[in-house]
Chain A
Amino acid sequence: MPTLWIKNARVIDPAAKRDAAGDVFVRDGKFVASLSTADKKRAKKIDAHGLVACPGLVDIHVHFREPGQTHKETIGTGSRAAAAGGFTTVVMMPNTSPVADNAGTIQLMKDVIGRDAIIRVYPTGCITVGMKGQTLAPIGSLKRAGVVAITDDGDCVQSNDLMRRAVEYAKMFDLPVMDHCQDHSMTVGAVMNEGIVSTRLGLRGWPNAAEDLIVARNVILAEYTGAHIHLQHISSKFSVDVIRRAKQRGARISAEATPHHIALTDDALATYDTNFKMNPPLRTDDDRRALIAGLRDGTLDIIATDHAPHTDYEKDKEFDYAPNGILGLETALPVTLDVLVRQNKFKLPFVIDLMTRRPAELMKLPGGTLAAGANADLCLFDPAEKWHYDAKVGFSKSSNSPWSGQTLTGRVKTTVVGGRVVFDGGKITAP
């Protein structure tokens, strides 16, 4: 384990309210306040002039497709894409094949993570058996097996009573419940936001009301039971307002926004490009602006990617038949910087906070800090570098990104996990 001396960076550590030029030191896999003269002499020195050094990014919403759909992504390839995007900690969704609704599957995932992952990867478990929304999964056993949250992911629990019991039960283990908010009865056959664009394109619309209903349901249940419910990838303006009011009342509600929902709108679907098809769908500019306002005032707590790989041949279909989801890990930082910092004048440390300390705290994970003694998980990036992103030569096994072929501003240079440099100069350096 090398000793590292990262020199002359702009050091941003939201947890310590630090934003100053300086150095960062790593020894024995942990951050340290300083190095001895002898340590300094033998330390690997990284010249970070012009770069930002911040805690490794944390993404609590990724799909790594293992077990069962390893043609799309694996824990190994997904963790490499994460490292290339500056992420050092991710939380996987349980919609694998089979779904992660029992301790055995969680153990299998942990074994693969131990063998193949080059960053920290945490599993979640299902809320219900088979993610079918019928009966509760063995939530206690899942917790004991090591899940950090439970969720039925895209198969939002439709029964209000079952959801009430799930959050009430999970509260006993202090286990957050993550929910993809979608009333299925209102979204049969829906493939994009319902509105002017869907009307013109003749595509079946997914009304934001279908999200708003379940967001409101979850707010009510969080307040009724006192449990923590985390609302995934909020896309609707109305939902932002519901969450804002709930937080004012003190509800244990947290919520995320994705880079794509704050960057893009349903206008992008004009050419039926399936790399803009995801669930929840891209919505209107009004919604997009409301999400940004929600991030600004803390209504929305964090950025999460919903990194959802699909192969070319799965995405290369008629729009109605292509699966939902896009890649996110390798573009999240530049896209978020572009929307929040450049277009909307957010302060850089605040944006870093949305992608590091806050998601780590929400899921009670280590990381998200440069504090001495903490795991040396670090991201070094150049906020000004322009680079050409080609998803085909990216690190994910799939290439379904709406940003492929575009020039992005802001580039991750080095990613360090537990003191080990796992990504550097455009290459994965972990074995």
Chain B
Amino acid sequence: MSWTRRHLLTVEELSLAEIDQIHATASAFKRTLTRSVKKVPALRGKTIVNLFLEPSTRTRMAFDMAAKRLSADVISLDGNSSSTSKGETLRDTAQNIQALQADMIVIRHAAAGSPLYLSRILDIPVINAGDGAHEHPTQGLLDTFTMKEHLGSLKGRKVVILGDILFSRVARSNIHALTKLGAAVTLVGPSTLVPDWFTAMGVRVSHDLKSALADAEVVMLLRIQHERQAAGLFPSLGEYTSMFGLNKTRASWLNPQAIIMHPGPINRGVEIDSELADGDRSVILEQVSNGIAVRMAVLYLCSGGQPELVTPVE
């Protein structure tokens, strides 16, 4: 099957076959990353613009590195250095970037739906690097990629996503990817941050940590933000930790082979105990490494590359 999609806007719009193709392509790229010469010439001569209108470290670095590993030229713009701080509209900024002959644009934006909006304006591929509380498709793809490396097929696997789900784009992209891959997903957290509306997305919602963690094979923690507490969504970080923080005792409820994930940045001592974050069940840093391979796959495929052309080099 050939790859036909030019934009990557959401995981929701991807078919299971497309997710598998991205994962397979990422696998091939991952093998190139351990060589002494890490670059492949796939996107030589192409220019990719990273338009990050919201702060980001990890995602931006990973996109940057992924593009460079593919031999593309990369230009990064953030909210302060771009003209949006002078009142330029997103449409104008994006059209200017296209007029500068960029071949692809990677966008991080605080407003949900902005990548879709850009994709309607521009002729070049648009890659969503996180839009508001909507989606963060490459994160959902790299998380499920990481899970598959550890568990094999995700069909029927018990996955728990724990934390601030309501405001999380990472949660939404993972929900879409995991349900397509056949996993049994349970969302856990305070009722104010995990409303029942989510059940319409094909997942379970629970506020009882013990029963939710029982036998889970993956637990994915999400960052708890101070702003949510200020907005009155839960009483205090201390109470959050006492009710929902992952500690050693609670981790013992998990399946013995379970992996612990976090998209970062982590709040040690809030949503996760420090020793668990650094423990042998934690795959947090693997997620970061896999983020490069998955983003290479996405950049490669959306710029017209085909999965079968990626030659695995041993």
Contact = CB atoms under 8 A, between A and B. Distances in A.
Interface of A: 188, 195-196, 198-204, 271-272, 313, 316-321
A272 B200 CA distance: 19
21 contacts: A199-B166, A199-B200, A199-B201, A200-B12, A201-B112, A202-B112, A202-B132, A202-B133, A202-B134, A203-B112, A272-B113, A317-B90, A317-B91, A318-B109, A318-B111, A318-B113, A319-B112, A319-B113, A319-B117, A320-B111, A321-B111
Interface string B107-151: 001111110110000000000000111110000000000000000
Contacts of A316: 89, 91
Contacts of B132: 202-203, 320
A318 B107 CA distance: 13
A106 B231 CA distance: 40
A325 B135 CA distance: 26
B287 to A, nearest CB: 21
Most chain A beta-carbon contacts within 10 A, residue among B12, B111, B132: B111
A293 B131 CA distance: 38
Interface residues of B, number: 26
Nearest to A321: B111
A400 to B, nearest CB: 16
A290 B174 CA distance: 36
A320 B116 contact: no
B76 to A, nearest CB: 20
Nearest to B116: A272
B169 interface: yes
Contacts, number: 59
Given A203-B132, A272-B116, A272-B117, A319 B197 contact: no
B135 to A, nearest CB: 7
A195 B197 contact: yes
A200 B89 contact: no
B11 to A, nearest CB: 12
B264 interface: no
A199 B134 contact: no
A202 B89 contact: no
B195 interface: yes
Contacts of A272: 112-113, 116-117
B112 A320 contact: yes
A200 B201 contact: yes
B12 to A, nearest CB: 8
Interface string B195-218: 101101100000000000000000
A412 B231 CA distance: 50
Nearest 4 Cβ contacts at the A-B interface: A202-B134, A272-B113, A202-B133, A318-B111
Contacts of A198: 197
B134 A318 contact: no
B172 interface: yes
Nearest to B114: A318
Contacts of A321: 111
Contacts of B89: 313, 316-317
Contacts of A200: 12, 172, 200-201
Given A316-B91, A318-B114, A202 B135 contact: yes
Contacts of A317: 89-91
Contacts of B195: 199
A266 to B, nearest CB: 12
Nearest to B133: A202
Contact of A319 (B111, B133, B231): B111
Contacts of A319: 111-113, 117
Given A196-B197, A321-B111, A201 B91 contact: no
A271 B111 contact: no
A202 B200 contact: no
A324 B109 CA distance: 21
Nearest to A318: B111
A430 B198 CA distance: 54
Nearest to B167: A202
Contacts of B135: 202
A118 B286 CA distance: 69
B134 A271 contact: no
A189 to B, nearest CB: 10
Contacts of B134: 201-203
Nearest to A320: B111
B93 to A, nearest CB: 12
The winner among A200, A316, A320, A321 for most chain B CB atoms within 10 A is A200
Contact of A271 (B91, B116, B200): B116
Contacts of B169: 202
Contacts of B231: 188
B185 to A, nearest CB: 14
A198 B172 CA distance: 12
Nearest to A271: B116
